[in-house]
């Protein structure tokens, strides 16, 4: 009898120890992801400041520095940090769907995380229209994968937690991080890991708060739509933002697939450095045409417009759209979160001319949520993230409606979301190499 009781206590101790070990992995990962997100944010600000200082010395320096930087970034990514290209979110999604540990490690690893950080900073240093938030997702997923490498069964949940924590720490938007993990990364609510994922997001957010303090990403904006004709801006922004967002996704997806049946497509695949150089030249030309406003993430321009009403060039939205598309298809590492919000802000500012009595800030927010929802086709994430980044809860209902309209409009142009469409390329690449079929990832 005593031996039976003793064995029960031993089993209970083992189960309890395993549970606490599992929790410790998620919490430790959240701390490291939060610190990495803060480090990347601070370095990104310095990289953009250095490029602005260069432009202050010579506006035309971008015609040399930007294409040269693009070429160097693509060379380093292809030679030393394979699978670090682009935003990194498709790689994290694909890693969750794979079952082979070595295949996952080729998409999310500490080596890739280091390369992602360095090459994202290089892109910002040479004026690319990229963001740091998507890269933070891949970095977060890589950190979690490394911490829990000895437990393959938990890897899908750890990758999801790292991705969600990355979004939360990058924007200081914990709710958006959780919603992003559910709506975009997993496309499902996983009951078994939801508590641990939320805990990782909270810890990453607290780490960010401890290091840089509490802040609202785009500042505080209290604009609100008055009832009446001003509400016509909601469907208009939704349609315009959704169509432009869908067009952006379709361009990027088509270029990623490479037009395999066309000679030009095969030539593009064979000459990545030449493609990067051409893209860099046109990004520099867009910068010159915009008065140097489209370089970098677009964060400063949008925050200035929302907080102080600082006007942007009338062509800011279109030129930022072109520069972001060129930066993305060039093959350099870098995200599209912040640039997409900046494009949406520019489009919203253009639409605002049709509604002179409406507050500019309100129309700009509608443009931001509409274009972002059109690109990622994740309407809930879109309105949650814009609400959290501006602390404007008065606009929740119009933002929700605009996001839904944008989502429907985007699907008329592009039938699938950009991240999941691009993730299939990585899945095909890995399954071809390993000869194994991917399956929807199970919770950890």
| Distance (Å) of CA 146 to CA 77, 102, 141, 297 | 20, 12, 9, 29
- Is 173 a member of any domain? yes
Whether 239 and 205 map to the same domain: the answer is no
Q: 26 and 53, same structural domain?
A: yes
In the chain, pLDDT over 90 holds for what percent of residues? 41
H/E run at residue 388: helix 379-390
Q: Is residue 274 part of a domain?
A: yes
Among 429, 441, 419, 424, CA closest to 90: 419
Ranked by mean pLDDT, which of 4-18, 93-107, 204-218, 334-348 comes out on top?
334-348
Q: Which residues lie below 8 Å from residue 315, measured CB to CB, with a gap of 6+? A: 289, 290
432 vs 389, higher pLDDT? 389
Mean pLDDT of 122-139: 92
pLDDT in tens, 172-186: 777 778 888 877 776
Does residue 304 have a pLDDT over 70?
yes
Is there a domain that residue 441 lies in? no
Q: Residue 119 pLDDT more than 80?
A: yes
Looking at the structure, tell me whether residues 24 and 147 fall in a common domain.
Answer: yes
DSSP 225: P
The total domain count for the chain is: 2
pLDDT reported for residue 37: 87
Lowest mean pLDDT among 207-211, 337-341, 375-379: 207-211
Which stretch, 27-31, 44-48, 199-203, 228-232, has highest mean pLDDT?
44-48
- CATH number of 181's domain: 1.10.3080.10
Are residue 185 and residue 251 in the same domain, yes or no? no
Shared domain for 41 and 179, answered yes or no, is yes
pLDDT of amino acid 295? 95
Domain check: are 373 and 417 in the same one?
Answer: yes
403-to-120, 176, 227, 238 alpha-carbon distances in Å: 29, 14, 19, 6
Contact 297, 342 (CB under 8 A): yes
The dihedral through the CA atoms of 274, 276, 277, 281 has a sign that is positive
| Claim to verify: residue 185 and residue 253 sit in the same structural domain | no
Domain membership of residue 8 (yes or no) is: no
- pLDDT for residue 429 is more than 70: yes
Question: What percent of the chain clears pLDDT 70, i.e. is strictly above it?
Answer: 83
Predicted pLDDT at 187:
62
| Shared-domain flag, residues 43 and 80 | yes
Q: How confident is the model at residue 15 (pLDDT cuts 50, 70, 90)?
A: very low
* DSSP calls for 255-309: HHHT-TTSHHHHHHHH-HHHHHHHHHHHHHHHHHHTTS-SSS-SHHHHHHHHHH-
Helix (H) or strand (E) segment spanning residue 391: none
Same domain flag for 292 and 391: yes
Higher pLDDT pick, 60 / 157: 60
Assigned domain for 311 exists = yes
Q: Which uninterrupted H or E stretch holds 6?
A: helix 2-57
With b for 16 or more beta-carbon neighbours within 10 A and e for fewer, the 211-230 pattern comes to eeeeebbbeebebbbeeeeb
Residue 444, pLDDT > 50, answer no
Are residues 170 and 235 part of one domain? no
Are 432 and 393 contacting, i.e. CB atoms less than 8 angstroms apart? no
Instruction: Report if residue 9 sits inside a domain.
Output: no
The stretch 49-58 carries a mean pLDDT of: 94
What pairs with residue 333 in β-bridges? 86
Please check whether residues 311 and 406 belong to one and the same domain. yes
**CA of 240: how far to CAs of 124, 145, 243, 281, 347, in Å?**
28, 39, 5, 28, 8
Q: Which pLDDT score, from 0 to 100, does residue 424 have?
A: 87
Question: Is residue 93 domain-shared with residue 238, that is, in the same domain?
Answer: no
Burial 393-426 (b: 16+ CB within 10 A, else e): eebeebbbbbbbbbbbbbbebbeebbbbbbbbbb
Which residues are paired to 335 by β-bridges? 131
Question: Whose structure tokens read 């030539």?
Answer: 267
In a domain, 10, yes or no: no
Q: Is the pLDDT of residue 210 over 70?
A: yes
Predicted confidence at residue 441, as pLDDT, reads 47
Whether the Cβ atoms of residue 349 and residue 360 lie closer than 8 Å to each other: yes
φ/ψ of residue 312, rounded to 5: -110, 155
**252-265 pLDDT, tens per residue?**
998 887 766 555 55
Q: What is the structure's pLDDT at 222?
A: 74
pLDDT at 316 over 90: yes
- As beta bridge partners, residue 86 has 333
Mean pLDDT of the chain: 84
In this predicted structure, the answer to whether residue 121 has a pLDDT above a threshold of 70 is yes
Query: Which residues form the domain of 263?
Result: 229-426
Mean pLDDT of 40-57: 93
Question: pLDDT category, 152, cuts 50, 70, 90?
Answer: low
Residues 6+ apart with CB under 8 A from 145: 95, 104, 105, 108, 109, 155, 158, 159, 162
Per-residue pLDDT band at 201 (split at 50, 70, 90): confident
On whether residue 161 sits in a domain, the answer given is yes
Question: Is 375 in a helix, a strand, or coil?
Answer: helix
- pLDDT(50) > 70: yes
Tokens of 302: 């949008």
- Averaged pLDDT for residues 323-327: 96
């Amino acid at each position: 009898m005593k031996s039976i009781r003793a064995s029960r206590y031993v089993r209970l101790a083992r189960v309890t120890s395993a549970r606490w070990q599992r929790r410790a992995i998620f919490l430790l990962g959240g701390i490291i992801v939060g610190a990495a997100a803060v480090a990347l944010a601070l370095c990104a600000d310095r990289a953009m400041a250095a490029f602005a200082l260069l432009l202050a010395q010579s506006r035309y320096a971008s015609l040399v520095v930007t294409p040269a930087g693009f070429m160097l970034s693509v060379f380093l990514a292809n030679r030393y940090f394979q699978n670090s290209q682009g935003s990194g979110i498709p790689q994290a999604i694909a890693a969750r769907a794979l079952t082979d540990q070595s295949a996952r490690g080729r998409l999310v690893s500490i080596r890739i995380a280091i390369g992602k950080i360095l090459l994202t900073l290089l892109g910002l240093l040479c004026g690319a229209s990229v963001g740091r938030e998507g890269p933070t997702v891949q970095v977060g997923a890589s950190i979690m994968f490394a911490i829990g490498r000895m437990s393959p069964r938990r890897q899908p949940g750890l990758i999801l937690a790292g991705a969600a924590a990355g979004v939360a720490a990058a924007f200081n938007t914990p709710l958006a991080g959780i919603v992003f993990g559910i709506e975009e990364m997993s496309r499902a609510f996983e009951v078994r890991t939801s508590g641990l994922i939320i805990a990782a997001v909270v810890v990453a957010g607290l780490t960010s708060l401890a290091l840089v303090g509490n802040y609202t990403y785009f500042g505080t904006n209290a604009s609100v739509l008055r009832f009446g004709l001003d509400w016509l801006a909601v469907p208009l922004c939704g349609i315009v933002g959704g169509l432009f967002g869908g067009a952006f996704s379709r361009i990027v997806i088509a270029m990623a697939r490479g037009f395999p049946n066309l000679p030009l497509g095969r030539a593009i695949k064979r000459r990545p450095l030449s493609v990067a150089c051409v893209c860099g030249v046109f990004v520099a030309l867009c910068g010159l045409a915009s008065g140097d406003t489209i370089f970098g993430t677009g964060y400063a321009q949008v925050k200035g417009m929302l907080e102080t009403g600082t006007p942007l060039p009338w062509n800011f939205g279109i030129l930022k759209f072109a520069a972001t598309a060129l930066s993305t298809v060039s093959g350099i590492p870098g995200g599209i979160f912040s640039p997409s919000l900046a494009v949406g802000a520019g489009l919203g500012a253009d639409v605002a001319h049709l509604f002179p009595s409406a507050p500019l800030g309100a129309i700009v927010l509608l443009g931001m949520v509409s274009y972002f929802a059109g690109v990622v086709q994740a309407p809930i994430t879109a309105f949650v993230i814009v609400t959290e980044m501006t602390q404007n809860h008065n606009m929740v209902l119009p933002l929700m409606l605009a996001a839904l309209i944008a989502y429907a409009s985007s699907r008329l142009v592009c039938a699938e979301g950009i991240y999941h469409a691009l993730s299939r390329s990585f899945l095909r690449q890995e399954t071809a190499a390993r000869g194994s079929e991917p399956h929807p990832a199970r919770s950890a």
